[in-house]
Amino acid sequence: MAILCPSTAIYHLLFSFLLLFFLCYVGNTPVCGDARDGYHTLDINSLLPKSNCTAPVGGGSQGLPITYSYGPCSQLGQKKSPSRQQIFLQDRSRVRSINAKIFGQYSTQESKDGWSPESMDTLNEDGLFLVNVGFGTPQQKFNLIIDTGSDTTWIQCNSCSLGNCHNKKTFNPSLSSSYSNRSCIPSTDTNYTMKYEDNSYSKGVFVCDEVTLKPDVFPKFQFGCGDSGGGEFGTASGVLGLAKGEQYSLISQTASKFKKKFSYCFPPKEHTLGSLLFGEKAISASPSLKFTQLLNPPSGLGYFVELIGISVAKKRLNVSSSLFASPGTIIDSGTVITRLPTAAYEALRTAFQQEMLHCPSISPPPQEKLLDTCYNLKGCGGRNIKLPEIVLHFVGEVDVSLHPSGILWANGDLTQACLAFARKSNPSHVTIIGNRQQVSLKVVYDIEGGRLGFGNDCKH
């Protein structure tokens, strides 16, 4: 009979640990989270927000802090979260505007009014993420919405004349010694107009001044200085445009230093902080990264990736990868809920329901029908429940395990927690990976390298 001596046992234990580590970071297993054997052991109270803001740890301390637009970490004074109905309505507008920009599906009236697909968007502050950026010398700091779908960075200026400016901080060019007016812009057309799906708009001129992305400072940065507007933009002061445009985008204007690289960690709850990093720091600080290819669609708009499948509790859904390929899949910071093709969504919902039989299902209110698979977590038999792991599979053997907050969206008392995915309203629309599914993931955009990375080293 073979005898396993203690040293041999220790050797095998150490070998097993190293093998597991290798598989998590190199092999075909997902970007590793806390799921075991296809399930999260979820303390349902972890889905609830807290009243105090927690300090960032690790990645958060190295970059610009990211906050929700509401909650205890928000610098906008909005402590109460918006209703899900409000978020969903604005999210639908965002999805419509994305598809209209990509496919040019604008009405004749919009064309007559002078609005172009490039100037149309949706500014949905509710459910979005903000970052604090400095403009001018000395710095005037503003909370801007992070938007990977917008080329233009713009802020409201103190000349803003309409009523929608009274509840936000505005930029005062006269207080900045480094400010330059439109003469610094190489183009002969220095005006800009951003119109949004809800008929809000911002109009102004392109100007130049220093922008500070702490600790880096960029002189003569070109941005929109809004002098008029209409509708409701919330209390954010503007937009930090992180799309890959060639002239006015932040990505292009900072390319000499940042090499068209940036990353973010979106916080999973309102009381936690995320981080935004630029340049080599966005990649070098992330040993767990796995990269998939960034595609180049004919429209040139959006960050397109090749989603090829989804798994629930380690079981691959029986759906063809071609479902996601036509017309394509984008990852977006401004859409909240991921939109899937109907066949893929129904397969996901069925598989999820089969794994959630231990929790009582409920019907959501009619105004919240966007999410149609909901549960009363108080009736699951205890504080800790088994939550099936959901993994998104991308080309290049990149498998991304979602955080529990990217799987379930719970209300304030846990009596309604819904699968945080929805079906596309139009089969011709693109598949969209929303920001809810990106929480607690390190998402890295390497535009020059033509790749998108996912990692698990966000700390909140």
Please answer whether residues 286 and 456 qualify as being in contact, where contact means their C-beta atoms are separated by less than 8 angstroms: no
Alpha helices in 292-357 (DSSP H): 322-325, 342-355
Tokens encoding 28: 């075909």
Tokens encoding 323: 């479902």
User: Could you tell me if residue 101 is left (phi over 0), alpha (psi between -120 and 50 degrees) or otherwise beta?
Assistant: alpha
Write the CB contacts of 322 (distance below 8 Å, at least 6 apart in sequence). none
Catalytic residue of the set 91, 209, 332, 446:
332
Catalytic residue of the set 121, 147, 151, 446:
147
User: Is the four-CA dihedral 432, 312, 369, 375 of positive or negative sign?
Assistant: negative
Which residues share a beta bridge with 102? none
Tell me whether residue 147 is one of the annotated catalytic residues.
Answer: yes
CA distance 26 to 398: 10
Please spell the DSSP secondary structure of 92-153, one letter per residue. Answer: HHHHHHHHHHHHT---HHHHHTT--GGGEE----TT-EEEEEEETTTTEEEEEEEETT-S--
Which residues share a beta bridge with 226? 156, 204
Cα first-last separation, the chain = 51
Tokens 């509710």: give the residue: 126
Tokens encoding 422: 């929805």
Residue ranges with strand state E in 306-414:
307-312, 315-316, 329-331, 338-340, 361-362, 374-375, 384-388, 390-394, 398-401, 408-410
CA distance 105 to 117: 8
CA distance 147 to 170: 19
Active site residues: 147, 332
